[in-house]
Chain A
Amino acid sequence: MEAWRWADLAALEAGRATPRGEAAAIDGLWIEGDGPRLVFEDGVFRPGLSNPCEVVVEAITPETAHPLGAATAGTGWRLSLEAERAVTGVQIVHVATGGENHVPGLIELGRDAVASVVETFVGTGWTNRLTTIRLAEGARLMRSVRLLQSSGFVSIREEAEIGQAASLASLFLGAGGASSRIDGELIVTGDGGFAEMGGALLTRGEQRHECAVTVRHAALDGSSRQIWRAVAADRSVASLAARVDVVRGAQKTDGEQSLRGLLLQRTATVNLKPELEIFADDVKCAHGATVGELDARALFYLQSRGIPEGSAKAILTRAFVADAIDRIGEDAVREAFAADAEAWLAAAL
């Protein structure tokens, strides 16, 4: 299957084979704010470490045909908001110690409801998640995900239905040592809906990150953005397949797709695959895909002003991923993500 072209299922098996051990410390992972907090350890909810407030922990039966997503059936979390309610600053920390763990998540926002959710993944093993999102008319969801597992494999499937004038922004940062697979299917079902999925994937060593995302415009006047930045060092591989489908009749769709890769060494690989399938005649879909190295002229310019080579590379790489990370709307979350990217750069350069 084309969507699995770059998949590294051996890494998933290796992650699953990691024996369970001690849980990593999570205190430093919370971002400032007094929203609901949930901790899942090896996929099991930890009430003593959590304060779920509006978020409900219960059995969820996923309605998905996705093979990894379907494997999450069991106890998960749900955030359901009635019309015009707002719950922001939800934080969920997933700490894994080894083996495999599966958790489904469900976010349902009523008319004009607003929510923001940050998920953080740490530890090791195979971590598998499905998040199902349903946004009613005018609802807005900001979702930020940071992949900080030190080893193992993280697979994340996101399925979203975006209603009339509703808005979803889902932004990912891969800045850990684990390999990952991010799958997304966002469907804009209502007129004027907005869908965004993107982020920065930083890979080094033998790591592999891959991402296969489809945004489907099934209504009028929709807009979408897929802005992905991949930075690959050593012998790592980052693969991005991003697709925009515009169904017949989805006129005035405005889609933007920007996939860019940066190779820190020539032994690294970045695969980019932008795809557009458009069955309407009055749409605007800008797209671009480039892979390159740090600009030697820019590097020398910084060095000639007194900046040592390592710092100069970090400055240019930071600027490269900023396009993706800066799209996170909440200051504290954006700063936390930027600090994680910074820590990755300091270690990789």
Chain B
Amino acid sequence: MLQIDNLHAEIDGKPILKGLSLTVNAGEVHAIMGPNGAGKSTLGYVLGGRDAYEVTDGSVSFDGEDLLEMDAHERAAAGLFLGFQYPVEIPGVSNLQFLREALNSQRRARGQEPLSGGDFLKLARAQASALGMDAEMLKRPVNVGFSGGEKKRNEMVQMGILDPRLAVLDETDSGLDIDALRIVGDGINRIMRAPDKAVVLITHYQRLLDYVRPDFVHVLADGRIVRSGGAELAADLEREGYGAIAA
């Protein structure tokens, strides 16, 4: 589904990714772990299509299409979802208005009919409720005044509504307390654990992996993947630290 080959990327002339390769097949959950500054968030932004990051070498294909040739909104319409480490606050734009516009933009791009107001509301309420978010929060401006945990929960509600095929989730566990972690973990499993879907879970700590069991764990250090293994690798990392494993 996702094929990353020898990816090099930089920001402001500073190289961050230095030859990263990764293959993600449908039905798989991959965890990308690594120390601060390894390039984890850069990987998310490059896959999401943020302008500020420049790809200097390598290729990324998504379902056989050249992902790097697509604009950010086209990547979303193609089925990619980027979960943000720091979801952005947007005053004056309600969650509902934002998500309906997003979903219908994606549907139009795929040649589908836009969803009516009533059908959309039903979908949004169901997803909010499944993630333990008060339906009233859907009416509030996007992420404004939300706690760190509420913002992450809102990311998952968005993922549930947009129903992507590939989710790249950047530090979705940060800012969550234990209860929220379980709800978010259950959400990822419910929305994304399917034979035709895949997840790239970017995380610093192992704790989310107790709820979302990865099929593969990769260690990212200094811009490339230095080690790959099964779920047990995450436990090794937790026990021994990145220094020992990445060396």
Chain A residues with a Cβ under 8 A of chain B: 295-298, 300-309, 311-312, 315-316, 318-320, 322-323
Known: A300-B72, A315-B98. A307 touches B105 (CB 8 A): yes
Task: Give CA–CA (A296, B50) in the complex, Å.
Answer: 10
Using a Cβ–Cβ cut-off of 8 Å, how many residues does chain B contribute to the interface with A? Answer: 31
Whether A315 pairs with B101 at a CB distance below 8 angstroms is yes
Q: How many whole Å from A96's CB to the nearest CB in chain B?
A: 34
Asked, given contacts A304-B82, A306-B76, A319-B93, whether A311 binds B87 with beta carbons under 8 Å apart, the answer is no
Least CB distance, B69 to chain A, in whole angstroms: 15
Q: Are A311 and B101 in contact (CB under 8 A)?
A: yes
Q: Is the CB of A305 within 8 A of B91?
A: no
Knowing A304-B82, A315-B98, say if A309 contacts B90 (CB, 8 Å).
no
> B51, B87, B91: which contacts A319 (Cβ < 8 A)?
B91
Alpha-carbon distance between A315 and B98 when the two chains are bound, in angstroms? 8
A320 — which chain B residues lie within 8 A by C-beta?
92
Knowing A298-B88, A319-B91 touch, does A303 contact B71 (C-beta < 8 A)?
yes
Selected contact of B92 from candidates A297, A305, A323, CB within 8 Å:
A323
Given A298-B88, A311-B105, A315-B98, also A305-B93 (CB < 8 A): no
CB <8 Å contact, B90 and A306: no
Proximity bits, B90-109, A CB within 8 Å = 1, else 0: 11110001110111011001
Bound-state CA distance A258–B85 (Å) is: 32
Contact partners of B131 in chain A: CB under 8 A: none
CB of A308 within 8 A of CB of B73, answer yes
Given known A-B contacts A319-B90, A319-B91, A319-B93, A304 and B99 have beta carbons under 8 A apart:
no
- How far apart are the CA atoms of A308 and B105 in the complex, in Å? 8
Q: CB distance A304 to B76 under 8 Å? A: yes
C-alpha spacing A300/B44, complex, angstroms: 13
Contact present for A302 and B102 (CB under 8 Å): yes
Q: Are B101 and A307 in contact (CB under 8 A)?
A: yes
Report A230 CB to chain B, min CB distance, Å.
16
Chain B min CB distance to A162 (Å): 29
Question: Which of chain A's residues have a CB closer than 8 A to the CB of B217?
Answer: none
Task: Give the residue name and chain of the A residue nearest to B158 (CB).
Answer: A305
Given A303-B71, A304-B72, A306-B106, also A298-B101 (CB < 8 A)? no
Residues of B within 8 A of A303 (CB): 49, 71-73, 76
Residues of A within 8 A of B93 (CB): 315-316, 318-319
Report the bound CA distance from A305 to B98 in whole Å: 9
Known A306-B102, A306-B106, A307-B105: A322·B76 in contact at CB below 8 Å = no
